[in-house]
Amino acid sequence: MFKSMQSMQMQAVHCFQTIGPDNKEYRAIIAIHNTNLGPALGGCRCLHYAHEQLAFDDAMRLAQGMSYKAALGQVPQGGGKSVIILPDDIAVEDVDRAFLFTWFGQCVEKLNGQYITAMDVGTQVADMDVIFTQTQHVASASNIGDPAQATAQGVMVGIQAALDFYCSPDGAISSVNMADKCFAVQGLGHVGWRVATQLKQLGAQVFAADPDKDKCVQAKALGIDIIAVEDILTQACDVLVPCALGGVIHDANVELLSCKIIAGSANNQLANDGIAQILAQRQILYTPDYIINAGGLIFASHQYRCLQSSNGALDAPEVGQGYSDKIESIYQTLIEIFQQAQGSNINQVANELALKRLDKGLDSLPTKGKVYDAA
């Protein structure tokens, strides 16, 4: 593990264990990648893992990703992630969640604000509310609010940046009218619904797909063209907007894509890193997911810091304001990355820019965060 920590430049990895009321052993890992820009923020996964090492790898890889995401989103936070390893012989529905998240809240509290937790795969707002009874360092309890609106705003900004860049081959960026373009939105959930309906309101042609029939009926009533789930990725369009699952662009479908741009909220859209290279060869402009979907992180970080500075008062006047400009800055970050990438692996270009911002630390950010020394 120390080798992995070294190669990923991981700042600290904290391990915790306890025995539950069911006499089973529960373990948690909190990985802190880098706090140059501020205390580490990142979700808590609560899952079964086939092997402990996979849990360490997950926590460290995701914490590193959060550092990069915060740096490129100009968020004064570091990168962290936590993992709760469920015992093999207990089903998720049998877990005593009140016990588990009370204990996990105590683990987070022990780190004195070096790590701020949030929702992720296998955790819900109700779990975050339990954690909040033990520590203030939670960025997605019910007092923070739903980040989906902010994420959708970032996706709209990212789509505009990608279209403007794609349609300006001579390098002089000018604004493209989205109403003249055609979009294919995969997933009509919290984010996809907002993006698809906003695009439609602007007058664009919008195709969408979702296995949820009710959502499709509602979207159709708004003039959105509903197509089969298995056809959405290969639909001819200007912009493919993946807002459902990870790994949707893979070796078997990358050659079948019929879009000019990919720009959506889903995490880890590319099944492997080689796909970014194939997209570049096919002259499909890929918008790195962790930049275009940073609106949710920008929102959560802002709300958390407002609540901290108002000692947790829920009606603090500044809560809910002041993060929109930062979401708009996703536009400039993407243009910078598009210009630098020009046919090369765009994810690598984005990672290099993130590392530069991390090295520069707080001086590179307009709003400085508090830095904690990792133990």
Catalytic residue numbers read 81
* Binding segment (CB under 6 A) for ligand NAD, from list 50-58, 96-104, 190-198, 216-224: 190-198
**Token digits of residue 168:** 């300006």
Binding of residue 218 to ligand NAD (CB under 6 A): no
CB 300, min distance to ligand NAD, A: 9
Q: Which of 26, 88, 93 is nearest to 51 (CA)?
A: 88
**Token digits of residue 102:** 């009370």
Residues 6+ apart with CB under 8 A from 53: 1
CB 70, min distance to ligand NAD, A: 13
Binding of residue 298 to ligand NAD (CB under 6 A): no
- Binder of ligand NAD out of 267, 310, 364, 367 (CB under 6 A): 267
Residues 6+ apart with CB under 8 A from 350: 68, 72, 288, 290, 291, 337
- Binder of ligand NAD out of 58, 127, 210, 238 (CB under 6 A): 210
Binding of residue 236 to ligand NAD (CB under 6 A): no
The total number of residues written for the chain in this structure:
375
CB 242, min distance to ligand NAD, A: 8
Q: Which residue has the tokens 């580490």?
A: 40
Binding of residue 92 to ligand NAD (CB under 6 A): no
Q: Which residues of 298-311 are buried (b: 16+ CB within 10 A; e: fewer)?
A: bbbbbbbbbbeeee
Binding of residue 212 to ligand NAD (CB under 6 A): yes
Residue 24 is given by DSSP the state -
Q: Which residues of 110-133 are buried (b: 16+ CB within 10 A; e: fewer)?
A: ebeebbbbbbbebbeeebbbbbbe
User: Count residues contacting ligand NAD (CB under 6 A)?
Assistant: 24
Q: Which CB, 60 or 119, lies closer to ligand NAD?
A: 119
**Token digits of residue 369:** 């965060």
Binding of residue 235 to ligand NAD (CB under 6 A): no
Binding of residue 58 to ligand NAD (CB under 6 A): no
Q: How many helices (H) and strands (E) does the chain have?
A: 13, 11
Q: What angle do CA 233, 331, 58 make, to 5 degrees?
A: 60
Binding of residue 318 to ligand NAD (CB under 6 A): no
Binding of residue 259 to ligand NAD (CB under 6 A): no
Binding of residue 209 to ligand NAD (CB under 6 A): yes
- Binder of ligand NAD out of 60, 116, 191, 270 (CB under 6 A): 191
Binding site for ligand NAD (CB under 6 A): 147-148, 151, 186-192, 209-212, 215, 229, 243-245, 265-267, 293, 296
